[in-house]
């Protein structure tokens, strides 16, 4: 049992991982130190009972499907299928093809082994595991490395700890599948498929855990879990896990082509390892995946995680030739480690396209240990092509620097496609403040880099060193506090450089490459600053400088590079939006450091490099300064040229320029400095229209209509003559309201449905008292957006009816109290943000109705009436959650007083079998007093405040009411009523239907 548990512990860990997935954040996470023993029973309730015995015994219910089997084997409809501790000279299950399908109970294969390919299953063509509704376990199966004699034939094991075949298919399974602790002496710790392996359309988790290959043959010990030519992970809605697998190449998978497409759930590659005691040319590559042709991660709504993987040579997560990440959800590379290419190594003139189109691509805390440990995301070998892009509202985030140093004729392209309007970010936000060396902070780009559109952001102490940088008009280079852009030299002896780095076991170069800065140029025509980062007390200016030359330990100015900054200066925030909602701009500021330029006078530097005679002669002639950084076309005053929302003020930018004595250190070789400062004079606040909303105030209008509808479910003014002593009634209510936009404020649509229950008693002379309760569910939607409020209202009402002058004058008093619970959702579609808020409302309403019944003519009753209706409504104060958080409070309640007047007619038809009453009411409803609701709104991030009002309504309304009541039994009547009101701004429809039991 102890041995069994040892085998099961890795699987148990994965199951706990499946049940409670780890939230991958931007900081490192560690594996649990131990796994409780009682987790077996909790996580494997369907493991066969015989595995719970103290001694694991050989067991098999395959009914003759043994190693001597041949042909096409179909293993299906087993209630439970198990095989344990089987050892044979051929695989436990052998055939031309093998299919496991439609097995209703668990499938469990434990500790089976064979000296040939396929420790459990071997097929010359296909192995299919499909349509199984229950869990399947493949644990501790082995394909041993030996050459044995069997029936006078020599059989050489070639891998596949569980499965060896030409094509392997794991499709349409509804139960979980676990491959754990399987091993082989050669390729494919769990599965070796010579042509392809597919995992498709599975709805439950599939996990490969602790599968491994031994280290006996370095050239054929690849793919700790899976080794195949083409590997497809397609259209799965259950998560896929590759955890703690190990091989020499491809800790989890070694393939020619891998396609990960259209998976709705997450895929995890965690803690896989590629290692070998002797690292030669291309061994120990790809801690998670080694792919010799193409890896495609495309169209996945779910996330893909590469975390805590390790390669003792290259490609901590991925060692690939061609890589495409496109049209997918988020992809994370975190805490991966290798000698080169901690996250990704791109090889053999390959191409990498990293496009964040429906989720961010994130590199964080990946590190290499070439000479010493330092952060690294991507390493590009010679002649490779790298493209980085993001759609609007998405980002490729490099919290680790990249290495794009080897020669390539194709420029590094940033946002190459028309749809790429997003951000490529270099940041050291998660690098310790104590780390200051360039290797941990600066991406080295020794080729041409083209920013074609969107934003290249360099922030939080991160740097980018360019040999050549070009920028297309309309794009932005966005710098944050303490960030830097610098020049870098390129290699002349690229062939020797590539040979030395790619062939040797260590990064020591065979030939010291020649480097040059000739032709080095950086052209920036759209510079933006992430303004909020410069407003912090610890902020430092962004730095743009020319890197000095190292002349045998002594540094001198480099006069070859040229940096040109032109165009208007722009202020943005980290979302590429207006930064003026920053709280730091809510008051005046002075001496804000923004930009720091460091270069030298090329003419003076050239004079200093000449001989002493030439130097003396040159001093006699006055020279015009020729600085390496040209800002003659850089318009810093443009920050005042554009209108914006948020905090208002006036910028006063100015330059502080000075020179120092030139030294021979890295810090003093350049001696010309220019610092851009700015002062801010605050004048006020203008809210952005996207933060304004009428929804909260209009919720009170919706409450008005629902409260009135509840009051109308009380008995009508004529219900006395035909009534008995009392009645009990129940009604279904429906309300449809359409409010037009008015005075630049958007209208709304409101739909409501609910029920009411009421009871009344009546005296012999017509005095009546009625009570009512209603519950109404509703939603309110802004007419111009998808913002909405979902509500639930509880309304209680009372009615008193008092006849006067022998019934010639009837007074009816109605009152109601309403309590509403509301949930508001606000969507910011331009950048996929949203917020949500919960609040409450209270409304009280009352009416007094005076009616004058006229003389009844046959079955017709006509009653003129006049009424006074009043309502007051308020909402509670509340704070949103989510993005762009706002706080709301009632500044002015809703007050509404109207004076409906009109005529009511009723006709009774009692000649038929079912007595029926028809009602009709026409009314004019002028508003006598109206005070619009006003809501005080505050944007939390800026503390800017304003007043939001409800959409104004018309003060004159016409209303019509039609009703029918039919007595179907002596004491039971049913009714249906419709009321519509129409004004120049509002259309309201009420519908109620119910039954009344009178006695």
pLDDT (tens digit per residue) in 68-77: 556 889 998 8
Average pLDDT over residues 497-520: 56
927/899 Cα distance (integer angstroms) = 6
Residues 6+ apart with CB under 8 A from 573: 530, 531, 532, 579, 582
342, 308 Cβ separation under 8 angstroms: no
Share of the chain above pLDDT 90, in %: 70
For residue 25, pLDDT over 90 is answered with no
The mean pLDDT of 602-618, rounded to a whole number, is: 54
Residue among 328, 219, 231 at smallest CA distance from 288: 231
pLDDT digits (tens, 9 = 90+) for 869-886: 999 999 999 999 999 999
Cβ count within 10 A of residue 479: 28
User: Per-residue pLDDT for 912 more than 90?
Assistant: no
In the prediction, which pLDDT does 266 show?
96
Q: Please state which of the ranges 151-165, 914-928, 970-984 shows the lowest mean pLDDT.
A: 151-165
The token pair that represents 462 in the structure block: 């991160």
Which pair of structure tokens corresponds to residue 196? 């392809």
Contacts of residue 814, defined as CB under 8 A and 6 or more positions apart, other chains included, come to 711, 714, 797, 798, 799, 845, 846, 847, 849
The pLDDT tens digits for 726-762 are 889 999 999 999 999 999 999 999 999 999 999 988 8
CB atoms within 10 A of CB 837: 21
Write the DSSP symbol of residue 497: H
What CATH code would you report for 689-998? 2.40.128.130
Q: What is the pLDDT of residue 331?
A: 98
Instruction: Give CA–CA dist 331/555, Å, rounded.
Output: 42
Distance of CA 331 to the CA centre of its chain: 11
The mean pLDDT of 671-677, rounded to a whole number, is 96
At residue 933, the pLDDT reads: 96
| Cβ atoms of residues 253 and 283 within 8 Å | no
For residue 322, what pLDDT band results from cuts at 50, 70 and 90?
very high
Q: Is the pLDDT of residue 498 over 60?
A: no
Name the nearest CA neighbour of 336 among 358, 309, 296, 300.
Answer: 309
Whether 712 has a pLDDT exceeding 90, the answer reads: no
At residue 854, φ and ψ (nearest 5 deg) are -85, 170
54-58, 276-280, 460-464, range with greatest mean pLDDT? 460-464
- Do residues 341 and 376 touch, judged by C-beta distance below 8 A? yes
pLDDT > 70: percent of the chain: 86
Strand runs labelled E in 131-270: 136-139, 142-143, 147-150, 153-156, 163-171, 177-180, 183-184, 191-200, 206-209, 212-213, 226-234, 240-243, 246-247, 253-261, 267-270
pLDDT of the residue at 725:
78
Cβ-count burial of 32 within 10 angstroms (0-12 exposed, 13-18 middle, 19+ buried)?
A: exposed
> Of the given ranges (113-127, 308-322, 323-337, 481-495), which has the lowest mean pLDDT?
481-495
Phi-psi region of 798 (alpha: psi -120 to 50; beta: other; left: phi over 0): beta
Mean pLDDT, rounded, for 596-623? 62
Residues 296, 693: Cα–Cα separation, whole Å: 44
Contact 347, 382 (CB under 8 A): no
Beta carbons of 850 and 809 less than 8 angstroms apart: yes
Q: Who wins on pLDDT, 370 or 410?
A: 410
The full 3-state SS of 947-986, as one line of letters, equals: EEECCCCCCEEEEEEEEEEEEEECCEEEEEEEEEEECCCE
pLDDT at 502: 42
Determine the distance from the C-alpha atom of residue 949 to the mean position of all C-alpha atoms in its chain, rounded to a whole number: 33
Give the pLDDT confidence of 90-101 residue by residue, as tens digits.
888 888 999 999
Note the pLDDT of residue 281: 53
Six token digits for residue 493: 């002896």
Residue 216: its pLDDT value, please?
56
Contacts of 860 (CB under 8 A, 6+ apart): 905, 906, 907
Q: For CA atoms 545, 550, 556, 559, give the dihedral sign.
A: negative
CB atoms within 10 A of CB 761: 15
Contacts of 383 (CB under 8 A, 6+ apart): 349, 406, 407, 408, 409
The better pLDDT of the pair 283, 390 is held by 390
Tokens 């069994």 belong to 4
Tell me if residue 646 falls in helix, strand or coil: strand
Answer whether residue 380 shows pLDDT above 90: yes
CB-CB contact of 275 with 286 (8 Å):
no
Nearby residues of 550 by Cβ (< 8 Å), 6 or more positions away? none
- What's the predicted TM-score (pTM) here? 0.84
Question: Per-domain residue ranges for the chain?
Answer: 525-686, 689-998
Read off the pLDDT of residues 257-305 as tens digits, 9 standing for 90 and up: 999 999 999 999 999 999 875 555 556 899 999 999 999 999 999 999 9
* pLDDT of residue 515 exceeding 50: yes
Question: 84 falls in which pLDDT band (50, 70, 90)?
Answer: confident
The stretch 977-996 carries a mean pLDDT of 94
Q: Is 242 helix (H, G, I), strand (E, B) or coil?
A: strand
Question: Rounded to an integer, what is the distance from CA 456 to the centroid of its chain?
Answer: 21
Nearest to 56 by CA among 8, 12, 107, 4: 4
Band of the pLDDT at 24, cuts 50, 70, 90?
Answer: very low
Q: What is the mean pLDDT of the chain?
A: 87
Half-sphere exposure of 525 (CA within 13 A, CB side): 10
Give tens-digit pLDDT for 766-819. 788 999 999 999 999 998 899 999 999 999 999 999 888 877 889 999 999 999
- Mean pLDDT for 516-535 is 96
Confidence of residue 156 (pLDDT cuts 50, 70, 90): low
DSSP state of 434: T
| Maximum Cα interatomic distance, the chain, rounded to a whole number of Å | 131
């Amino acid at each position: 049992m102890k041995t069994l548990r040892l085998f099961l512990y890795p699987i148990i860990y994965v199951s706990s991982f499946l049940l409670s997935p780890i939230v991958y954040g931007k900081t490192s996470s560690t594996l649990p130190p131990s796994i409780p023993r009682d987790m077996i029973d909790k996580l494997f309730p369907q493991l066969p009972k015989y595995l719970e015995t103290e001694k694991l015994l050989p067991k098999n219910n395959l009914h003759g499907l043994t190693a001597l089997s041949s042909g096409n084997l179909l293993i299906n409809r087993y209630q439970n299928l198990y095989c344990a501790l089987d050892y044979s000279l051929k695989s436990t299950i052998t055939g031309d093809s093998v299919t496991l399908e439609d097995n209703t109970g668990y499938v469990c294969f434990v500790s089976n082994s064979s000296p040939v390919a396929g420790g459990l299953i071997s097929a010359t063509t296909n192995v299919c595991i499909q349509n199984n509704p229950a869990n399947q376990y493949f644990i501790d199966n082995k394909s041993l490395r030996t050459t044995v004699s069997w029936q006078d034939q020599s059989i050489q094991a070639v891998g596949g700890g569980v499965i060896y075949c030409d094509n392997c298919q794991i499709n349409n399974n509804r139960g979980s599948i676990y491959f754990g602790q399987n091993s082989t002496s050669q390729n494919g710790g769990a599965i070796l498929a010579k042509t392809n392996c597919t995992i498709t359309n599975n709805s439950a988790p599939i996990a490969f855990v602790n599968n491994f290959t031994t280290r006996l043959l370095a050239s054929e010990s690849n793919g700790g879990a899976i080794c195949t030519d083409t590997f497809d992970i397609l259209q799965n809605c259950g998560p896929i896990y590759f955890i703690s697998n190990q091989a020499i190449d491809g800790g989890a998978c070694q393939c020619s082509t891998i396609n990960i497409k259209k998976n709705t759930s997450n895929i995890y590659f965690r803690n896989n390892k590629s290692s070998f005691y002797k690292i030669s040319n291309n061994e120990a590559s790809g801690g998670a995946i080694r792919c010799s042709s193409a890896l495609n991660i495309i169209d996945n709504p779910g996330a893909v995680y590469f975390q805590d993987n390790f390669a003792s040579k290259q490609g901590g997560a991925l060692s690939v030739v061609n890589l495409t990440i496109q049209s997918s959800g988020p992809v994370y590379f975190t805490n991966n480690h290798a000698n080169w290419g901690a996250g990704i190594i791109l090889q053999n003139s390959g191409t990498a396209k990293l496009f964040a189109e429906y989720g961010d691509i994130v590199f964080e805390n990946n590190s290499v240990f070439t000479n010493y440990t330092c952060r690294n995301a991507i390493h590009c070998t010679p002649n490779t092509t790298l493209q980085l892009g993001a759609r609007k509202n998405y980002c490729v985030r490099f919290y680790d620097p990249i290495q794009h140093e080897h020669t390539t004729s194709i420029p590094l392209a940033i946002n190459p496609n028309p749809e790429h309007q997003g951000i490529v970010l270099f940041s050291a936000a998660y690098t310790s403040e104590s780390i200051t060396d360039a290797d941990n902070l600066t991406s080295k780009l020794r080729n041409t880099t083209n920013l074609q559109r969107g934003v290249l952001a360099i922030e939080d102490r991160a740097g980018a060193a360019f040999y050549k940088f070009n920028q297309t008009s309309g794009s932005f280079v966005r710098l944050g506090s303490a960030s830097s852009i610098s020049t870098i030299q390129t290699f002349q002896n690229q062939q020797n450089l590539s040979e030395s780095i790619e062939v040797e076991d260590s990064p020591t170069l065979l030939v010291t490459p020649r480097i040059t800065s000739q032709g080095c140029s950086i052209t920036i025509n759209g510079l933006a600053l992430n303004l909020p980062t410069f407003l912090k007390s610890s902020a430092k200016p962004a730095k743009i400088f020319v890197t000095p030359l190292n002349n045998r330990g002594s540094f001198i100015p480099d006069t070859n590079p040229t940096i040109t900054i032109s165009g208007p200066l722009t202020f943005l925030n980290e979302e590429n939006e207006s930064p003026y909602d920053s709280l730091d701009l809510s008051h005046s500021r002075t001496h804000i450091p923004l930009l720091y330029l460091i270069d030298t006078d090329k003419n003076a530097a050239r004079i200093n490099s000449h001989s002493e005679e030439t130097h003396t002669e040159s001093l006699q002639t006055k020279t015009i300064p020729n600085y390496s950084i040209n800002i003659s076309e850089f318009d810093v005053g443009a920050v005042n040229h554009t209108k914006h929302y948020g905090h208002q003020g006036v910028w006063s930018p100015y330059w502080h320029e000075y020179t120092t004595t030139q030294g021979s250190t890295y810090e003093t070789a350049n001696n010309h400095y220019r610092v851009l400062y700015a002062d801010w004079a605050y004048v006020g606040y203008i809210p952005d229209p996207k933060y304004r909303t009428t929804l909260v105030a209009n919720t009170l209008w919706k409450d008005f209509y629902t409260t009135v509808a509840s009051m109308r479910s009380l008995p009508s003014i004529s219900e006395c003559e035909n009534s008995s002593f009392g009645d009990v009634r129940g009604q279904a209510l429906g309300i449809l309201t359409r409010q037009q936009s008015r005075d630049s404020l958007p209208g709304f649509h409101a739909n409501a449905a609910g029920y009411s229950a009421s009871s009344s008693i009546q005296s012999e002379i017509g005095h009546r008292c009625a009570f009512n309760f209603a519950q109404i569910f509703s939603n309110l939607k802004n007419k111009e957006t998808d913002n909405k409020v979902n509500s639930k209202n509880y309304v209680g009402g009372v009615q008193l009816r008092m006849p006067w002058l022998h019934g010639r004058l009837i007074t009816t008093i109605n009152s109601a109290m309403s309590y509403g619970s509301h949930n508001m959702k606000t969507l910011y579609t331009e950048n996929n943000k949203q917020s949500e808020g919960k609040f409450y409302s209270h409304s009280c309403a009352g009416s007094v109705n005076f009616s004058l019944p006229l003389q009844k003519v046959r079955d017709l009753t006509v009653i003129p009436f006049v009424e006074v209706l009043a309502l007051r409504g308020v909402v509670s104060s509340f704070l949103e959650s989510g993005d762009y958080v706002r706080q709301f409070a009632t500044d002015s309640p809703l007050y509404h007083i109207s004076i409906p007047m009109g005529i009511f007619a009723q006709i009774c038809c009692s000649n038929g079998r079912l007595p029926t009453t028809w009602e009709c009411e026409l009314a004019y409803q002028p508003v006598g007093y109206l005070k619009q609701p006003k809501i005080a709104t505050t944007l939390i991030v800026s503390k800017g405040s304003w007043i939001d009002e409800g959409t104004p309504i018309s003060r004159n309304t016409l209303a019509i009411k039609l009703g029918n009541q039919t007595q179907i039994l002596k004491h039971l009547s049913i009714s249906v009523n419709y009321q519509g009101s129409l004004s120049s701004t509002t259309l309201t429809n009420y519908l109620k239907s119910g039954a009344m039991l009178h006695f």
